[in-house]
Structure 1
């Protein structure tokens, strides 16, 4: 019974809310005769999405691939640098300003610079933009989690004459898992958004961002929104997969309390 109730809250309730929102959206478009260049109705978007599914899927693969590379690189870098910062206090203090600067770097300014550095025909710039966007929340959340270790656990490891690395590997990192996955869940959506935005400012033709721009510039607003729907689905897949990995990890590994 508890499992059924939990399934209803986590799956059925959001689905029902989404269906109600879509029905209300379609009703407003029909009643007020809202023009497609303002916002098309869900039925028109869905129809265009189905008619151009292969094209949308092709763009989703490009954008999703760049976001995945950025998520992996930025996630690993964020976790490793957070561990080093937790072990070496001086490194933490020195890197604080750099992390703060990275957090406020606008993608609209960074993407063209990276395209110039790595070439407009490569996907490298988009992947690096996604990696930088991912690095910030993963680093901050991981570092916060690494600082939450209870003093009694540190004292116990000290009694056993454990090294700093042994303490980090067996106590600190496992205890920080909830914080690490919180950062990864936030970063999973940011990776898709960053890769999508980076496509607006140059680079190869493929990707949902380029497709949205092309469709909107030709006044095909239904198709543009179909590509937007594709981007939303890519973001949801990233978030759900990250959440599933978190559930699996926390279910099969419970740090000692």
Structure 2
């Protein structure tokens, strides 16, 4: 009886997963088909917009090269992601301990989100070197720091007043309150920030490379190919950036499910 119940739960979970993946998959296929049909039906010039079939053909002509330069750029994105998210998390913990600091950092958070990356990249290129990886890592770190700070600070502050009162009634120390109450409450907010920053990091690294970088960089490849109107090659580089960004996002989602199986959203999925 127990084995049959576990089997039925596993099968229902697989069916729910398949049904949740079906709408985005159909939307993607439909979008690509419409793109292909529009380019061919309207005779759109190659220098304006290539067909998806042409982009894929060029992509599979040099997959090793695209993977190599893509991983170089992804390394910059990952380094900036780790630096920005770590600093944002630590600052959020400090802001919870010292409330006045949080109010002082809010204007910086708003300003960082308001400054376009195309304005920030040249400045960091001057300070850290236009062709060095440090300037790209710096751009990504700035882009990911404040979203992480805001989300984690909100998570650490999310427990109710009754929960804090209960901890005080047990004579819990500040460290125990942080580890046993604030930290578990902040984990969903942290992973929400990580998922947002996983896509921001790849965008930041690629765009930063438009303003200078080595020939082994994905952003430099996209810019150079677009500059000589080799748009299929440029789009193949964009495709590689998309694949890396999606893969990074899915890794964060998998870590979230592994580290937070107790979260209410996952319990609802299992109970459905």
TM-score by length of 2: 0.88
Q: 1:214-229 alignment to 2 at 5 Å?
A: 214-229=224-239
Equivalents in 2 of 1:187, 1:111: separation in Å? Answer: 17
CA-based RMSD of the aligned residues comes to 1.6
Tell me the CA shift for residue 43 of structure 1: 0.3
Equivalents in 2 of 1:250, 1:162: separation in Å? Answer: 24
- 1:97 maps to which residue? 107
| Paired residues of 2:130 and 2:211 also in contact (CA < 8 A) | no
Runs (4 or more) in structure 1 with deviation over 4 Å come to: none
| Paired residues of 1:60 and 1:234 also in contact (CA < 8 A) | yes
- 1:191 maps to which residue? 201
Residues 98-123 of structure 1 deviation map (CA, whole Å, 9 limit, x = unaligned) = 22222222222222222222223420
TM-score by length of 1: 0.93
- 1:68 maps to which residue? 78
Equivalents in 1 of 2:131, 2:228: separation in Å? Answer: 24
Q: 2:187 aligns with which of 151, 156, 177?
A: 177
- 1:138 maps to which residue? 148
Equivalents in 1 of 2:214, 2:173: separation in Å? Answer: 49
Equivalents in 1 of 2:47, 2:88: separation in Å? Answer: 41
Alignment CA distance shift 1:59-1:10 (3 Å): farther
Is residue 83 from structure 1 mapped to residue 83 from structure 2 by the alignment? no
Q: 2:168 aligns with which of 151, 155, 158?
A: 158
Q: How many residues align?
A: 254
Equivalents in 2 of 1:253, 1:148: separation in Å? Answer: 15
Tell me the CA shift for residue 12 of structure 1: 3.1
Equivalents in 1 of 2:122, 2:44: separation in Å? Answer: 36
| Paired residues of 1:148 and 1:176 also in contact (CA < 8 A) | yes
Tell me the CA shift for residue 236 of structure 1: 0.4
SS of equivalent to 2:93: helix
Unpaired runs of at least 5, structure 2: 1-10, 265-272
- 2:252 maps to which residue? 242
Q: 1:45 aligns with which of 36, 39, 55?
A: 55
Equivalents in 2 of 1:215, 1:170: separation in Å? Answer: 53
SS of equivalent to 2:210: helix
Unpaired runs of at least 5, structure 1: none
| Paired residues of 1:115 and 1:203 also in contact (CA < 8 A) | no
- 2:64 maps to which residue? 54
Q: 1:110 aligns with which of 108, 120, 128?
A: 120
Equivalents in 2 of 1:105, 1:13: separation in Å? Answer: 35
Tell me the CA shift for residue 11 of structure 1: 2.4
Equivalents in 1 of 2:20, 2:237: separation in Å? Answer: 27
Equivalents in 2 of 1:9, 1:176: separation in Å? Answer: 30
SS of equivalent to 1:251: coil
- 2:4 maps to which residue? none
Q: 1:149 aligns with which of 159, 173, 178?
A: 159
